[in-house]
Amino acid sequence: MSVVEKGQALTANRLVDGEVVFLTRSGGWSLSVDEAAVAQEPDAVKALEVRGREAEAANIVTGSYLFEVERRDGRVRATHIRERIRTLGPTVRPDLGKQALGSGDAFAAVHR
């Protein structure tokens, strides 16, 4: 049985090109949700929010916000459909977005 860690991650849109990005442990921004920092403690969650505001002030990203995730077998999955779609691309067109490139998260946006 796999271990599931639940927490929150921070997402935003990169200003240079509008891509959906996720804050990493090193403080950078990644296109891959699997590289997202997952905060479980209240202080760690607050730290993510602070980093998001700093990145917005530096005009790196816009619209940063926290979302619920679970890490399972080293992979990160958004628990809400909205963020799953943000990580993969359109649910009605699997030939588009990160899912078409094979670079989305490890879980389908919708259960099949």
Residue 108 has pLDDT above 60, yes or no: no
Q: 92 in a domain, yes or no?
A: yes
Q: 108 in a domain, yes or no?
A: no
Residue 2 has pLDDT above 80, yes or no: no
Range of the domain at 78: 4-101
Residue 102 has what pLDDT?
A: 59
For residue 54, what pLDDT band results from cuts at 50, 70 and 90?
very high
Between 100 and 34, residue with greater pLDDT? 34
Burial string for 51-75 (b: 16+ CB within 10 Å, else e) reads bbeebeeeebbeebebbebebeeee
- The DSSP string of 63-107 is EEEEEEEEEETTEEEESSHHHHHHHH--SS-TTSHHHHHT-S-SS
The total domain count for the chain is 1
Q: 107 in a domain, yes or no?
A: no
Residue 83 has what pLDDT?
A: 87
Residue 91 has pLDDT above 80, yes or no: no
